[in-house]
Amino acid sequence: MMQPSSSNPVDLQPGDLWGRVRSQTQHALTCGALQSIPTSYEWVESGGVRFLVRVVTNLIRKEADLRQQLAKPGKPVNPFLPYDDNLCVGALSEHHVCLLNKFNVVDHHLLIITRHFEAQDTWLTASDFAALWRCLAEIDGLGFYNAGEPAGASQPHKHLQLIPLPMAEEIESCPIAPVVQRALAASADPLVTADLPFAHGIARLDGIDVSDRHGGSYLSDRYLALAQALGLLDPSMPIPPQSPPYNLIVTRQWMLMVPRSQSSYQGVPVNSLGFTGALLARDHDQLQRVKELDPMTILQQVGQPVG
């Protein structure tokens, strides 16, 4: 199979994405570019949600890679400029490329990166959402964005992410989905639900078809409406270049935005996936810590207070 290069990635045609993801995954595994992190998982009940808590069984490779990057002189290494061609699925647009996540915990974890450097703490654009929607149109998955380091971002180069659904065989989607669906059934949007004890906004997305070419613009409009409803944007002012920290979660049916206060609580890191009801523990000691702290309490502490 001919591999794309960082200067000339393969243009993805409609209907190509899933096939390219599968073939590129096999190639990346064979050549060693994809270094999946093995995990086990447990279910932890908290606040009316059955949390999926994955436990890492081997972080050695990821930590060794990080140490190697930190040891290099000069500016911090940007793994997206240039990216590893062996991880490239293809070009989504003239502005975005789809990559495999090198250190994936979940199979077929995708990164949607900007071709040129843009900061991770800048607001998402209609172009960003068009790239995300193109992926969601072909993969029934969960897209997410960690806006800045306090929201759990591990890289400063703008990148959205997507994982296929369901997150586990025992559920239909993600752990938080039943809470969101109950809220959408009971109220108009943008809305909040008393079942989530932290500031948040939910918007329904069932007004468009997955094949709609204007899905990106629609997502952008819903996103900006949520940001304004949460007080993250002033509708009377131009959009500033930098955003406050927040997490964004997008499925084909709904969007959830959560303002952030800190990246972790008592040593437990949280990114967007935490607010889907999925947490990651680095070992069994941290799993026990998550249980003691209580998953919903952890989310409450890294989010913003209600009201």
Give the DSSP letter of residue 77.
Answer: P
pLDDT of residue 70: 47
pLDDT of residue 65: 58
Residues 6 or more apart in contact with residue 215 via CB below 8 angstroms:
129, 130, 133, 134, 136, 137, 208
Tokens representing residue 190 in the block: 């943008």
Task: State the DSSP string of 120-159.
Answer: TTBPP-HHHHHHHHHHHHHS-EEEEEEESGGGT-S-SB-E
Could you list the mean pLDDT of each consecutive 10-residue stretch along the chain, which spans 307 residues?
60 94 98 96 97 86 54 74 97 97 97 98 97 95 98 98 97 97 83 94 82 85 96 92 97 97 98 99 97 99 95
The pTM of this model reads 0.93
pLDDT of residue 62: 55
Q: Which domains does the chain have, with CATH numbers?
A: 17-302 (3.30.428.70)
pLDDT of residue 112: 99
Q: Which amino acid is at 287?
A: L
Question: The tokens 């172009």 sit on which residue?
Answer: 127
pLDDT of residue 182: 93
Phi, psi (rounded to 5 degrees) for 144:
-155, 160
